[in-house]
Amino acid sequence: MGDTLMSLLSHTNPGFIVILAGMLAYVIRGEIPRAVVTIGGPLLGLAALVLHSALSEPLATLNMMDMTFVLYQVERVSIVFGLAFLIAATVNSIFALHNKDPLQDSMALIYAGAAIAATFAGDLITVFVFWELTAVSSVFLILKSGTPEAYKASMRYLGIQILSGVLLLMGATFIMGEFGTLEFDAFISEGEGLSLQDDPGAIFLFVALGIKAAFPLLHNWLQDSYSKATHTGSVVLSAFTTKLAVYALWRFFPGEDSLIWIGAIMTVFPVFFAVIENDLRKVLAYSLNNQVGFMVCAIGIGTPLALNGAAAHAFAHIIYKGLLFMSMGAVMYRVGTTKATELGGLYRTMPFTAIFCIIGAASISAFPLFSGFVAKSLTMSAVGYEHMTIIWMMLLFASAGVLEHSGIKIPFFAFFAHDSGKRPKEAPFNMLLAMGIASFFCIWIGFPFLGGTEFLYGLLPYRDEAMVYLEQSLWTTDHVLTQMQLLVFAALAFIVLNRVKLYPPEKRGVVLDFDWVYRRPLYHALVWTGAVWSKAGPAMTGAALRLSRRVYNRIEATFSPQGELSRGPLSAGMAIWTSIVLAIVMVLALIVGPH
Amino acid sequence: MSEITPEEHTQDTRPAKHSGERYFGWTSHPKAGLYTFIFVGVLAAGLALADFFVHRHEYIHLAEFKMFYALFGFAAFGGVVLSGWPLRKLLGRPENYYEPEEETDNG
């Protein structure tokens, strides 16, 4: 019995277990049994991953319609992403224990499970199915906010996510035509992907992944929806969609040159929006853009060190970004807003949330001894080794920018700065526990001699290169010194500008971004078109109908059995002559045609 | 669960001396800003000084200059923050900028 269970677990995609737990969470109404399922599901998924029986070969397949669907295949890189997703799903379930909302619990787990299942899928159709499931399930986490703004944002979110899925399917169709199969093993291998120049389907795939990864100009769904999700929903959303896209980029497009610039631009532009944004959850969404940019850039560079950097960064980022969203989720839950203008001084009654937020902020800023330093250093070094001066400067600039918006702005304006007079209770125990677990990972991974850095580097796809980097480059005096110089001088700039009152005060309002294009001019154009059609439409339809009726009547009057051409002896003669001409043509064709 | 905070969540019923002041109360001291400035300033000076004693291995030539990271960090952060003034004028709008017209359309 035990052996059968072990064998079953070792051949089951951990994502399926989490999805099943999500379905159960909806039907189980008791709070304690539902808590057991929501936390136990991801933990069982972790057990399944640990027990996986083989690397780089199909562990579960489905044959249907003359095609083989690889439902479960474990690669080294999928372990990094899958493990981070499973940890995030477990921590998120703990964070949401107070919710008592079966629908949110259920959708959060189905969403997480779909992302995990896609990470361990071995063919494009299986990825497509779970790609779409992530979109459909996650939209409930925005909808459940219950506000009209959240409803509109969720519809915009759903539209663009489904579009991404459709593009992925189109890409899959081309790849099927080119390679005759959709199994990854036939057209990609670890570190070798598709070519945008040679593979027509690759372009569709690239845009599909670009939407989910929130490439520049395709990024607005992220800020739009994450800031309007429920206080637990934004935590869940922050972990999966963009990182699933990063995983897919890692598999399909390692070394794709255009990703270097796309990623570098992604790291830089959100910094400017984040500095003037008032909603701290939106600031975190911009920060998410910035962090994913580092990963995208590393994938574009494509060397083993850079690809290790992208995977390590994703692992650390899923945890520390979740931690930051959790701290803002706790503030949202207790205060009802995350707008900087309405916060400040919350440390008095929410000190533990403040401490956890600071740990997340130190991690994302890549302070030595925290996880961000261990992860981001790989990418920065990989860019340096390739002597890409401009890209390296952009990433360095973005690193200082991260300190501004996530390292300082988030904790400072929420918990310190001016006293808002609000004295909310500390976050509930389950939230503190979840934040505590995430904080533990941030420190364990980042602090030397605790074994966390070795654990993370040992998981990476190019393990040997990672271990050499760990021994020779990570903790060198000059590396730690230069990182501390960058961050401490940036912090000094904050203090100086704040003291001389040059730091722009937080102000209520929205910040225009590229979504202005479709929420204003395009929206107005559509409204105008609708108004014009409502007036001109009936008249134009009437004219078209009258015209087509006259044409039909004329044709009928000419060609029908009672029509002009059928009247009199002419029609009979014409029929005879037509038959004669046809017979001549057929005889000629028989004589002169090919034999 | 509604996102609107229930009334009982908004107010802490404990005495006026809050637990958080034990850990962070110093940040509300009138001189806290000055002390932080001095502390960070001294730390920054120490790090800058260390640059003259530690040999750095750089792969980007620009970074070989002494105090490159310190100056870059200060300038980048300062530039980003100062850009906030014109950017807010350019891109900042009232909170209901999008909603009224979209509401009208739906309603």
Per-residue pLDDT reduced to its tens digit, A298-314? 999 999 999 999 999 99
Provide the shortest C-alpha distance from residue B85 to chain A (in Å).
6
B36 lies within 8 A of chain A by CB? yes
- Put simply, the answer to whether B3 touches A230 (Cβ < 8 Å) is yes
Q: Residues of B71-91 as b/e, b for ≥16 C-beta within 10 angstroms?
A: ebbbebbbebbbebeebbeeb
Does B40 lie in the same domain as B64? no
What per-residue confidence (pLDDT) applies to B13?
Answer: 53
- A355–B22 CB contact, under 8 Å: no
Together in a domain, B65 and B84: yes
Q: Are residues B36 and B72 in the same domain?
A: no
- Do A239 and A90 lie in one domain? The reply is yes
Question: Looking at the structure, do residues A398 and A438 belong to the same domain, yes or no?
Answer: yes
Which chain B positions have a beta carbon within 8 Å of A95's beta carbon? none
A431 touches A439 (CB < 8 A): no
What integer pLDDT is reported at residue A595 of this predicted model?
Answer: 47
**Mean pLDDT score, A351-379:** 97
Pick the residue from chain A with its C-alpha nearest to B71: A489
**Of A454, A485, A509, which residue sits at a domain end?**
A509
| Chain B hits for A270, Cβ within 8 Å | none
Report the C-alpha gap between A332 and A338 in whole angstroms.
6
Q: Is residue B104 part of a domain?
A: yes
Chain A residues whose CB is inside 8 A of the B17 CB are none
Q: Does a structural domain hold residue B9?
A: no
> Same domain, yes or no, for B65 and B107?
yes
Tell me if A54 sits within 8 A of A74, measured CB to CB: yes
- The secondary structure of residue A594, as a DSSP letter, is -
pLDDT at B41 over 60: yes
Collect all residues of chain A within an 8 Å Cβ-Cβ radius of residue B86: none
Query: In sequence order, what DSSP letters do the residues of A300-341 get, joined into one string?
Result: HH-SHHHHHHHHHHHHHHHHHHHHHHHHHHHHHHHHS--BGG
Q: What is the pLDDT of residues A415-443, one digit of tens each?
A: 998 899 999 999 999 999 999 999 999 99
Give the number of beta-carbon pairs within 8 Å between A and B. 227
Q: Are residues A466 and A560 in the same domain?
A: no
Residue ending a domain, among A194, A220, A253, is: A253
Query: Which amino acid is it at A525?
Result: A
Closest Cβ–Cβ partner in B10, B24, B80 for A354: B24
Residue A321 lies in a domain: yes
How confident is the model at residue A1, as a pLDDT? Answer: 66
Domain range holding B44? 21-50
Which residues lie closer than 8 Å to A462 by C-beta, 6 or more apart? A304, A305, A307, A308
Number of domains in chain B: 2
> Measuring CA to CA, which residue among A14, A16, A179, A193 is closest to residue A86?
A14
Residue B17 DSSP symbol: S
Closest partner residue to B20 (CB to CB) among A99, A347, A496 is: A347
Chain B hits for A393, Cβ within 8 Å:
60, 62
Class of residue A562 by CB neighbours under 10 A (exposed 0-12, middle 13-18, buried 19+): exposed
In this structure, is residue A516 part of a structural domain? no
Q: B98 CB near a chain A CB, below 8 Å?
A: yes
Local confidence band at A251 (pLDDT 50, 70, 90 cut-offs): very high
Phi-psi region of A447 (alpha: psi -120 to 50; beta: other; left: phi over 0): beta
CA–CA gap between residue A174 and residue A385 (Å, rounded) = 36
Q: Are residues B75 and B43 in the same domain?
A: no
Show residues of chain B in contact with A491, CB under 8 Å: 40, 77
- Element holding A342 (H helix, E strand): none
Based on the fold, state whether residues A133 and A244 are members of the same structural domain.
yes
Instruction: Specify if A515 maps to a domain.
Output: no
Q: What pLDDT sits at residue A543?
A: 86
Distance (Å, whole) CA A457 – CA A467: 7
Question: Between the CA atoms of A52, A442, A383 and B45, what dihedral angle is there, to the nearest 10 degrees?
Answer: -160
pLDDT for residue B106 is more than 50:
no
Q: pLDDT band for B44, please (50, 70, 90 cuts).
A: very high
| Partners of A61 in the β-ladder | A70
Residues A487 and A417 in one domain: yes
Q: How far apart are CA A270 and CA A95, in angstroms?
A: 28
Q: Which residues of B touch A276 (CB under 8 A)?
A: 84, 87-88, 91-92
The three-class DSSP label of residue A216 is coil
SS3 (DSSP) at A123: strand
Q: Do A404 and B77 touch (CB under 8 A)?
A: yes
The phi and psi torsions of A277 (rounded to 5 degrees) equal -80, 135
Identify whether B29 is part of a domain.
Answer: yes
B77 in A contact zone (CB under 8 Å)? yes
Question: Mean per-residue pLDDT for A446-468?
Answer: 96
Distance, CA of A534 to CA of A184 (rounded, Å): 50
A193 and A270 housed in the same domain: no
The answer to whether the CB atoms of A148 and B103 lie below 8 A apart is yes
DSSP A424: P
Task: Compute CA distances A63 → A16, A74, A398, A454, B66, whole Å.
Answer: 18, 19, 47, 40, 63
Q: Which pLDDT tens digit goes with each residue over A56-90? A: 899 999 998 788 899 999 999 999 999 999 999 99
Q: With an 8 Å Cβ cutoff, are A276 and B88 in contact?
A: yes
Asked if this assembly's ipTM is beyond 0.90, the reply is: no
B28 lies in the same domain as B69: no
Residue pLDDT, tens place only, B70-96: 999 999 999 999 999 999 999 999 988
Contact A267, A292 (CB under 8 A): no
Whether residues B46 and B66 share a domain: the answer is no
Say whether residue B42 is in contact with chain A using an 8 A CB cutoff: no
> Which tops the pLDDT comparison, A591 or A325?
A325
Specify whether B41 is located in the same domain as B77.
no
Contact criterion met (CB < 8 Å) for A493 and B18: no
For residues A293 and A398, the answer to whether their CB atoms sit within 8 Å is yes
Domain containing residue A545: 521-592
As given in the structure block, the two tokens for residue A382 are: 């990989």
Same domain, A490 and A577: no
Q: Provide the token pair at A251.
A: 């598999």
- The last residue of one of the domains, among A202, A226, A253, is A253
**Which of B41, B57, B72 lies nearest to residue A478, judging by beta carbons?**
B57
d(CA A289, CA A283): 10
Q: Are residues B77 and B96 in the same domain?
A: yes
- A255-280 confidence digits (pLDDT tens): 999 999 999 999 999 999 999 999 99
* Closest Cβ–Cβ partner in A152, A275, A351 for B19: A351
Characterize A197-218 residue by residue with b for buried, 16 or more Cβ atoms within 10 angstroms of its Cβ, and e for exposed: eebebbbbbbbbbbbbbbbbeb
A333 or A540, which is more confident? Answer: A333
- Do A172 and A70 reside in the same domain of the chain? yes
Q: Between A440 and A178, name the one with better pLDDT.
A: A440
Q: Which amino acid is at A515?
A: D
pLDDT of residue B104: 40
Query: B73, A487: Cβ pair inside 8 Å?
Result: yes
Separation between Cα atoms, residue A594 and residue A412, nearest integer Å: 88
Q: Is there a single domain that holds both residue A487 and residue A570?
A: no
Using CA atoms, how far apart are residues A518 and A526, in angstroms rounded to an integer?
10
Q: What's the pLDDT band for A368 if we cut at 50, 70, 90?
A: very high
State percent of chain A over pLDDT 70: 96
Residue B14 included in any domain: no
Distance in angstroms (rounded) separating the CA atoms of residues A185 and A190: 9
The answer to whether B101 contacts chain A (CB < 8 Å) is: yes
The DSSP secondary-structure symbol of A341 reads G
Q: Kindly tell me if the per-residue pLDDT of A154 is higher than 90.
A: yes
Which token pair is A380? Answer: 């920065």
| Residue B37 touches chain A, beta carbons under 8 Å | yes
Q: How far apart are CA A254 and CA B104, in angstroms?
A: 47
Closest residue in chain A to residue B50, using alpha carbons only? A481
pLDDT for B14 beyond 70? no
What is the average pLDDT across A278-290?
Answer: 96
DSSP run (H or E) holding A71 = strand A67-73
- Examine the domain organization and report whether A495 and A571 are in the same domain: no
Distance CA A94, CA A226 (A): 20
Q: With beta carbons less than 8 A apart as the criterion, state whether A273 and B83 touch.
A: no
Position with higher pLDDT, A79 vs A531: A79
pLDDT tens profile A549-594 = 888 888 777 667 676 656 655 555 666 777 787 788 777 776 665 5
Q: Are A245 and A265 part of one and the same domain?
A: no
Closest CA to A410 of A282, A500, A498: A282
Instruction: Mutate one of B29, B42, B47, B81 to test the A interface: name it (highest A CB count within 10 A).
Output: B81
Burial of A60 (0-12, 13-18, 19+ CB in 10 A): middle
Residue B6 in domain: no
Residues A120, A192 within the same domain = yes
Rounded Cα distance, B93 and B90, in Å: 9
Is pLDDT at B107 greater than 70 in this prediction? Answer: no
Contact (CB<8Å) A482/B18: no
Q: What is the pLDDT of residues A182-239, one digit of tens each?
A: 888 888 876 678 888 888 889 999 999 999 999 999 999 999 999 999 999 999 999 9
* Cα A376 from Cα A368, distance rounded (Å): 11
Residue type, A457: Y
Domain membership of residue A491 (yes or no) is: yes
Angle at B97 between CA B94 and CA B101, to 5 degrees: 155
**Number of domains forming the structure of chain A:** 3
Evaluate if residue A527 carries a pLDDT over 50. Answer: yes
Question: Given this model, what pLDDT does residue B2 score?
Answer: 43
Q: Give dist(CA A565, CA A580) in Å, integer.
A: 19
Q: How many CA atoms lie within 13 A of A263 on its CB side?
A: 34
Token reading at A359: 């740990």
Q: Any idea how long chain B is?
A: 107
With beta carbons under 8 A apart, name residues in chain A contacting B1: 98-101, 104, 230
Q: What is the DSSP string of B26-84?
A: GGGSTTHHHHHHHHHHHHHHHHHHHTTTS----SSGGGGSTTHHHHHHHHHHHHHHHHH
| Residue B46 is assigned to a structural domain of this protein | yes
Residue B15 forms part of a structural domain:
no
Structure tokens that stand for A249 in this block: 């980029």
Query: Do residues B73 and B105 both lie within one domain?
Result: yes
A204 belongs to a structural domain: yes
Tokens representing residue A390 in the block: 């401009």
A112, A161, A300, A581, B95 from A397: Cα distances, Å: 33, 31, 19, 83, 30
Domain assignment present for residue B34? The answer is yes
A267 CB-contact burial (10 Å; exposed 0-12 / middle 13-18 / buried 19+): buried
CB contact under 8 A, B76 and A400: yes
- Distance from the Cα of A114 to chain B's closest Cα (Å) equals 24
Question: How high is the mean pLDDT of chain A?
Answer: 92
Flag if B1 and A100 touch (Cβ within 8 Å): yes
Determine contact: B56 vs chain A, CB below 8 A: yes
